[in-house]
Structure 1
Amino acid sequence: MASLTAPAIVCAVRAHGEHGAILRALTEEAGLVAGYVRGGRSTRLRPILVPGNLIALELRARTEEQLASATAELLASRAPLLAEPLPAAAIDWVTSLTAAILPESQPYPALFSALSAVLDAIGVASSARQWAAALTRYELLLLAELGFGLNLDECVVTGSSADLGFVSPKSGGAVSAGAAAGYEERLLRLPPFLRGHDASPAMADVLEGLAITRHFIDRDLLDGRNRDLLTVRERLVSRLGRAVA
């Protein structure tokens, strides 16, 4: 019998049958895993199986091909954050994206750590600007871990690392201000915080960073599909924009 016992971040929960639920959760060593939770829609388990929550997960399956049975105990609840529209939108997006994009049973320890950090930041940051920057970096890491990393270290035209101010929407490479002259409207603006040059970016810069990651997530990870998922993201960005207006 295949088995797993590990801390896990709840990423998605779908009703199955009259009382059960299929859980998708991210673990550090096994990556994204799925399991059937008996009674997952009960009053006891519903508060535990909330996207964003950290749980103690146990999976058991007779074969590798069989959907595992799962049990979960709460380690840390982020459910109170779901009462606030902006944190709720952020948690909905980042967990839904993770569940939709990652292949199952492949380890991504860096993503587990980064997702944990984003969720922690949503809970404790004094302003949305702080956790939104962390969310943008998580999206960049997700692209990189799945083989679509952006080159933000040097100009794709000149090879120089100086005066980088834009990103090519085609190549995903940075472009210097000089090389971009006359083509600015065709490029995405590169905010300094994405290159580690601004520890406390303004929300306007964060929104520009999110515009970059949105373009490449849609093109390279979603491939024009899953429009409902992008609607979740657009709701989040709209709320962030109103927060800074």
Structure 2
Amino acid sequence: MIEWREEGVLLSVRPHGETSVIVEAFTEGHGRHLGVVRGGISRKLAPVLQPGAQLDLHWKARLEDHLGAFSVEPIKGRAAAVLGDRLALSAMSAALALAGFALPERAAYPVFYAQTVALLDAMAAGTGWLPAYLDWEMALLEQMGFGLDLSACAVRGVNEDLAYVSPRTGRAVSRQAAGAWVDRLLPLPEVMLGGPAGLVGVQAGLRTTGHFLEEKLAPALGNRPLPPARARFVDLLVKSG
């Protein structure tokens, strides 16, 4: 018997048989991991198995490559905290869906896991989560091998007056170097460089990260479409402004 136990964030739940569910969790040491929770639709467990929850997970399987089974204990729920905030609820759904979409199964990303937990906690607290969400998408791209290089202008080599991102290379471009290509470049708002985090800037930043999620990450994962939750969140964000 193979087993391990650690905390994890619940990404998704789907039915399995008549009374069980398959849960998908993101843990620090075992990455994105799936397992069966027997009796997962019961009155006792169903309220615990809400996406975004922090859980104590105990996984067992006869062999390493088996699906295995989870036993779970609640640590902290987050869904109830965002139910009254449509935007935060939508953003949480987008983050959980993107993590499930992008992260390879059973590969550990401890730093990104910690950033994910911090983001979800900020959403539940209702403070500072919007720019943190943009940072999280940038970090996801970085972890998956499609990180943006915003350190200096790709054309001039300077780190001043950076205003755009090349849609092909993901490198920054200064306002002066953009020239006739300006209409083809993606926005680089100050918030992506550690500056003020206004709503307009975050919207512009999500346009840029969205391009690389759709045009770089998704093709690398077999041209699967991005989770609809991400588009719903961006649409809601635009309408909120």
Q: What TM-score does the superposition give when structure 2 sets the normalisation length?
A: 0.94
Alignment partners' CA distance in 1, 2:132 and 2:107: 23
Matched position secondary structure for 2:15: strand
Q: Deviations over 1:162-192 (max 9, x none)?
A: 1111000111100011111222211111011
1:95 aligns with 2:96: yes
1:202 aligns with 2:203: no
Conservation of the 8 A alpha-carbon contact between 1:31 and 1:108: yes
Number of residue pairs matched? Answer: 238
Q: Equivalent of 2:212, from 210, 216, 219?
A: 216
Percentage of identical aligned residues: 36
Alignment partners' CA distance in 1, 2:183 and 2:40: 50
Who is 2:123 aligned against?
122
Alignment partners' CA distance in 2, 1:184 and 1:237: 24
Q: Which amino acid aligns with 1:195?
A: L
Matched position secondary structure for 2:114: helix
Alignment partners' CA distance in 1, 2:144 and 2:40: 31
Q: Which amino acid aligns with 2:197?
A: P
- Map of 1:70-149 to 2, 5 A cutoff? 70-80=70-80, 81-126=82-127, 130-149=128-147
Matched position secondary structure for 1:151: coil
Deviation at 1:83, TM superposition (A): 4.7
Q: What TM-score does the superposition give when structure 1 sets the normalisation length?
A: 0.93
1:169 aligns with 2:170: no
Matched position secondary structure for 1:49: coil
Who is 1:53 aligned against?
53
Alignment partners' CA distance in 1, 2:44 and 2:126: 30
Alignment partners' CA distance in 2, 1:34 and 1:140: 25
- Following TM superposition, the consecutive aligned residue runs of length 4 or more in structure 1 with deviations greater than 4 angstroms are none
Matched position secondary structure for 2:183: helix
CA RMSD in angstroms comes to 1.4
Deviation at 1:227, TM superposition (A): 3.2
Conservation of the 8 A alpha-carbon contact between 1:21 and 1:37: yes
Q: Which amino acid aligns with 1:42?
A: S
Deviation at 1:73, TM superposition (A): 0.8
Deviation at 1:222, TM superposition (A): 1.6
Q: Which amino acid aligns with 1:47?
A: P
Conservation of the 8 A alpha-carbon contact between 2:88 and 2:126: no
Is there any run of 5+ residues in structure 1 with no aligned partner, and where?
Answer: none
Q: Which amino acid aligns with 2:51?
A: P
Conservation of the 8 A alpha-carbon contact between 1:47 and 1:79: no
Q: Equivalent of 1:234, from 221, 231, 235?
A: 231
1:31 aligns with 2:59: no
Alignment partners' CA distance in 2, 1:228 and 1:44: 33
Q: Which amino acid aligns with 1:69?
A: A
Deviation at 1:40, TM superposition (A): 1.0
Conservation of the 8 A alpha-carbon contact between 2:22 and 2:36: yes
Q: Deviations over 1:175-217 (max 9, x none)?
A: 0111112222111110112112x2x411000001111111101
Is there any run of 5+ residues in structure 2 with no aligned partner, and where?
Answer: none
Q: Which amino acid aligns with 1:160?
A: V
Matched position secondary structure for 2:167: coil
